[in-house]
Amino acid sequence: MSVVFEILGNRVIQAAALAWAVAQGLKVILTLILSGRFDSSRMLGSGGMPSSHSAMTCAMLMVIGFHEGFSSSVFALAFCFSGVVMYDAAGVRRSTGKNAEVLNHLIEGLVGNGFEFNEERLKELVGHTPIQVLAGALLGVFVGTLLA
């Protein structure tokens, strides 16, 4: 049981989890403000503003920096990891979402012309714009600095 308490008491995990939760909560609030509808699926969904992946990794990064030192090897590892996650969110995953949007449109056209297609729509909101990644990163830096 002490292992569970150690994990729950880990400042890095606490900061990462809090930054993720705040980012996901902001997605729900922003959806409500911008579309006028409450969408609870945004609480666990990927994509959108701000990037919870960026927030989580940057919060982790900052706590590690403050606790282990900004010149430590573990900080360097966290820095590189955060960079890869943010690059992936704005690059590969964003392209995946755009491809899904095109494919969904094509399938709708085929179904409208009598073709049978029983699969569900592909998820289009997968990645992030660079602004969404930056907003998540700034949120993570803020949360990580607060909890350090």
- DSSP letter, residue 42: G
pLDDT at position 37 is 83
Higher pLDDT residue, 59 or 121?
59
Q: Residues of 121-143 as b/e, b for ≥16 C-beta within 10 angstroms?
A: eeebbbbbeeebbbbbbebbbbb
Q: What percent of the chain has pLDDT over 90?
A: 46
| DSSP output for 3-21 | HHHHHHT-HHHHHHHHHHH
Largest CA distance in the chain: 63
Express each pLDDT in 60-114 by its tens digit.
999 999 999 999 999 999 999 999 999 888 776 566 666 666 666 666 766 666 6
pTM: 0.76
Q: What percent of the chain has pLDDT over 70?
A: 76
**Distance between alpha carbon 53 and the CA centroid of its chain, in Å?**
3
For the segment 13-18, the average pLDDT, to the nearest whole number, is 97
pLDDT at position 31 is 80
Higher pLDDT residue, 88 or 15?
15
CB 127 within 8 A of CB 87: no
As a whole number of angstroms, the distance between CA 48 and CA 93 comes to 12
Give the closest residue to 123 by CA, choosing from 45, 56, 62: 45
pLDDT at position 38 is 80
